[in-house]
């Protein structure tokens, strides 16, 4: 009943290979940007002044409370409504589907990562902070040497979930014309009018990527969270 | 204000809520069944349930949705034909709800499994000591107590599910996302309509979070918390 022969035709294999590259590019660029911005934002998020944490709270609340698809559409389809945007220097970028997808993915992951890191910073044990203060560390040093390194390590398990979620979110890029893995499958579906084979193949690729990511993070956890593991005899 | 599109968007919001709530019902049933199978002494049942939850959680919602939506009808009709029954025409709404329910059932089965395991073993034994059977203990003793442990995960899944309903617009169901795109294209104001719809999603999220707080309080009656 199922006929996978068409999947191994060179043209179609290349479509999937290019799709895989697009997916990985979207994932890595958005994760890198999102993580880089989320570190300073998480420090603001745990600040005492509402002027500092308020805007960051609002940002994470709005992003986490609306669908990623909507954010992507707002950027890709929505922004063209404004003449200011269409006439601006950024327009060549903002009319590019690939850039818009990366931007939407980065904005999205940044919000989730910020909350995750802020939670980890808040969960730092009281004694560590006190010890740092007692040796006369300034606030900046306290964050740089104690709070952030420890919070980043302790966030690893939650971050591995976030990375898998982002891998899955990259599939939305296919809705704005990008040929990622899902886009490649969708094109084959419309060419051959066979729904099972192309999407099953895509599902398999995502499954393997997911398992690969989980393995990598397990290794990282073994390395960076060794100090939290149960004592072995 | 919205050039006569207000009713059109409101109808979409209703569809979104209908899809979300119906899928939640399907997912809850599948989740409970999945959790019960995972924890069953029968090895085959627990393997099947484990495979279901692992596979579904490893693949993006959109891919599963396209697979089930485009392929599901063909598969179902092939099955009906093999059984000698006439072919059926599936309505889009049902297809969307069943797909979302199938996906989130896998996530909920993990939530429920954790919650059931969090109820002390002694509760089972006490039930058996009174002569109740497995299913009666589960329904009368374990289920009401596991709700407390399941609420945070359940709400989380509900929030993710609500947002995932936006995906049905990709396969042509007229939810509020679909209608916002249509109205936006017709009036050349896509940003405005998408923003309005975003506000509705945010409102659903906010109300859900308030309900979560209330439910947590209600189902934690009589539980002593550690004082920090």
**Which residues in chain B are closer than 8 Å to A77, comparing Cβ atoms?**
181, 184, 190, 194
pLDDT of residue A45: 96
* Contacts across the A-B interface (CB distance below 8 Å): 114
Domain that holds residue A102: 5-224
Residue pair A68/A169 in contact by the 8 Å Cβ criterion: yes
Residue of chain B with shortest Cα separation from A185: B63
Query: What span, in angstroms and rounded, lies between the C-alpha atoms of A180 and B221?
Result: 50
Q: How far is A144 from chain B (nearest CA, A)?
A: 28
Asked if the structure places residue A214 within a domain, the reply is yes
CATH no. of B6-219: 1.10.3720.10
- For residue A214, the surrounding DSSP H or E stretch is helix A196-224
CB contact under 8 A, A185 and B63: yes
**Which residues in chain B are closer than 8 Å to A202, comparing Cβ atoms?**
63
Q: Measuring CA to CA, which residue among B177, B190, B199, B180 is closest to residue A81? A: B190
Q: With the C-alpha atoms ordered B9, B105, B88, B75, is the resulting torsion angle positive or negative?
A: positive
Q: Is the pLDDT of residue B198 over 60?
A: yes
Q: State the pLDDT confidence band at A1, using cuts at 50, 70 and 90.
A: low
Pair of tokens at residue A174: 């296919």
pLDDT of residue A103: 96
pLDDT-wise least confident of A113-127, B9-23, B137-151, B212-226 = B212-226
pLDDT of residue A66: 95
- Report chain A residues touching chain B, CB-CB < 8 A: 1, 61-62, 64-70, 73-74, 77-82, 167-172, 174-175, 182, 185-186, 189, 195-196, 199-200, 202-203, 206-207, 210-211
pLDDT of residue A8: 77
Does the CB of B172 have a partner CB in chain A at under 8 Å? no
Asked if the structure places residue A218 within a domain, the reply is yes
Query: What span, in angstroms and rounded, lies between the C-alpha atoms of B111 and B218?
Result: 19
Q: Is the pLDDT of residue A32 over 80?
A: yes
Pair of tokens at residue A8: 């191994």
Give the count of beta carbons closer than 10 Å to the beta carbon of residue B45: 16
Q: Which of A67, A79, A167 sits opposite B163 (nearest CB)?
A: A67
pLDDT of residue A233: 62
Query: Which of A3, A63, A69 has the most B C-beta neighbours within 10 Å, making it the best mutation to test the interface with B?
Result: A69
Residue for token pair 């904005």: A107
Give percent of chain B above pLDDT 70. Answer: 96
Query: What span, in angstroms and rounded, lies between the C-alpha atoms of A120 and A195?
Result: 43
Residue of chain B with shortest Cα separation from A62: B202
**Which residues in chain B are closer than 8 Å to A195, comparing Cβ atoms?**
66-67, 70-71, 74
Mean pLDDT of A158-183: 94
Asked if the structure places residue A71 within a domain, the reply is yes
Q: Is the pLDDT of residue A7 over 90?
A: no
Q: Which of B63, B165, B194 sits opposite A171 (nearest CB)?
A: B63
Asked if the structure places residue A153 within a domain, the reply is yes
Q: In whole angstroms, how far apart are CA A199 and each of A40, A174, B25, B71?
A: 39, 13, 27, 9
Calculate helix-pair angle for B6-38, B190-219, nearest 10 degrees.
Answer: 40
Query: Which of A57, A168, A173, A214 has the most B C-beta neighbours within 10 Å, making it the best mutation to test the interface with B?
Result: A168
Q: Is the pLDDT of residue A132 over 70?
A: yes
Mean pLDDT of B73-81: 80
Asked if the structure places residue A232 within a domain, the reply is no
Query: What span, in angstroms and rounded, lies between the C-alpha atoms of A127 and A133?
Result: 10
Q: Cα-atom radius of gyration of chain B, to the nearest Å? A: 21
Residues 76-135 of B with CB under 8 A from A: 78
Mean pLDDT of B125-145: 91
DSSP B16-72: HHHHHHHHHHHHHHHHHHHHHHHTSS-HHHHHHHHHHHHHHHTS-HHHHHHIIIIIH
Asked if the structure places residue A150 within a domain, the reply is yes
CB contact under 8 A, B66 and A62: no
Residue of chain B with shortest Cα separation from A183: B63
**Which residues in chain A are closer than 8 Å to B53, comparing Cβ atoms?**
none
Q: How far is B102 from chain A (nearest CA, A)?
A: 15
Q: Provide the residue ranges of all domains of chain B, joining segments of one domain with +.
A: 6-219
Query: What span, in angstroms and rounded, lies between the C-alpha atoms of A143 and B210?
Result: 33
CB contact under 8 A, B194 and A169: no
Does the CB of B62 have a partner CB in chain A at under 8 Å? yes
Query: What span, in angstroms and rounded, lies between the C-alpha atoms of A128 and A139?
Result: 13
Residue of chain A with shortest Cα separation from B209: A65
Mean pLDDT of B13-28: 95
| Complex-level ipTM | 0.89
**Which residues in chain A are closer than 8 Å to B192, comparing Cβ atoms?**
81
Residue pair B52/B94 in contact by the 8 Å Cβ criterion: no
Q: Measuring CA to CA, which residue among A72, A125, A207, A5 is closest to residue B57? A: A207
Q: Is the pLDDT of residue A186 over 60?
A: yes
pLDDT of residue B225: 65
pLDDT of residue B130: 94
Mean pLDDT of B101-110: 94
Residue A213 buriedness (CB in 10 A; 0-12 / 13-18 / 19+): middle
Residue pair B55/B47 in contact by the 8 Å Cβ criterion: no
CATH number where A78 lies: 1.10.3720.10
Mean pLDDT of B171-198: 90
pLDDT-wise least confident of A7-11, A21-25, B143-147, B203-207 = A7-11
Number of domains in chain A: 1
pLDDT of residue B2: 65
Mean pLDDT of B39-44: 88
Residue of chain A with shortest Cα separation from B60: A168
Residue pair A171/A129 in contact by the 8 Å Cβ criterion: no
Mean of pLDDT over chain A? 92
Asked if the structure places residue A35 within a domain, the reply is yes
Does the CB of B74 have a partner CB in chain A at under 8 Å? yes
């Amino acid at each position: 009943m199922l006929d996978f022969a068409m999947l191994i035709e060179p043209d179609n294999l290349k479509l999937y290979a290019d799709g895989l590259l697009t997916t990985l590019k979207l994932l890595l660029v958005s994760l890198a940007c999102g993580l880089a911005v989320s570190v300073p934002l998480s420090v603001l998020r745990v600040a005492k002044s509402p002027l500092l944490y308020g805007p960051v709270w609002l940002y994470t609340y709005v992003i986490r409370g609306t669908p990623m698809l909507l954010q992507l559409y707002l950027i890709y389809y929505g922004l063209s409504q404004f003449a200011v945007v269409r006439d601006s220097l950024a327009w060549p970028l903002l009319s590019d589907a690939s850039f818009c997808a990366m931007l939407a993915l980065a904005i999205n992951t940044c919000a989730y990562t910020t909350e995750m890191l802020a939670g980890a910073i808040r969960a730092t044990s009281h004694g560590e902070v006190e010890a740092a203060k007692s040796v006369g560390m300034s606030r900046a040093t306290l964050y740089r040497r104690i709070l952030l390194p420890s919070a980043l390590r302790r966030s690893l398990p939650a971050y591995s979930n976030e990375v898998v979620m982002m891998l899955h979110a990259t599939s939305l890029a296919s809705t704005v014309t990008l040929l990622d893995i899902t886009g490649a499958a969708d094109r084959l579906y419309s060419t051959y009018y066979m729904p099972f084979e192309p999407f099953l193949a895509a599902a398999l690729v995502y499954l393997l990527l997911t398992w690969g990511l989980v393995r990598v993070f397990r290794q990282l956890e073994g390395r960076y969270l060794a100090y939290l593991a149960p004592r072995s005899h | 204000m919205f050039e006569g599109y207000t009713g059109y968007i409101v109808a979409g919001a209703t569809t979104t809520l209908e899809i979300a709530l119906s899928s939640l019902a399907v997912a809850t049933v599948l989740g409970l069944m999945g959790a019960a199978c995972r924890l069953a002494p029968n090895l085959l049942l627990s393997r099947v349930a484990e495979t279901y939850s692992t596979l579904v959680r490893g693949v993006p919602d959109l891919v599963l949705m396209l697979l089930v939506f485009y392929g599901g009808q063909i598969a179902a009709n092939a099955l009906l034909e093999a059984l000698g029954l006439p072919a059926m025409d599936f309505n889009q709404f049902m297809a969307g709800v069943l797909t979302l329910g199938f996906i989130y059932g896998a996530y909920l089965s993990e939530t429920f499994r954790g919650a059931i395991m969090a109820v002390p073993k002694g509760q089972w034994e006490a039930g058996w000591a009174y002569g109740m059977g497995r299913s009666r203990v589960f329904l009368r003793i374990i289920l009401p107590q596991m709700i407390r442990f399941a609420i945070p995960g359940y709400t989380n899944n509900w929030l993710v599910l609500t947002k995932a309903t936006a995906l049905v617009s990709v396969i042509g169901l007229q939810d509020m996302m679909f209608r916002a795109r249509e109205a936006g294209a017709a009036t050349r104001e896509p940003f405005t309509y998408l923003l309005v719809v975003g506000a509705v999603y945010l409102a659903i999220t906010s109300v859900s979070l308030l309900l979560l707080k209330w439910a947590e309080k209600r189902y934690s009656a009589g539980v002593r918390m550690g004082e920090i």
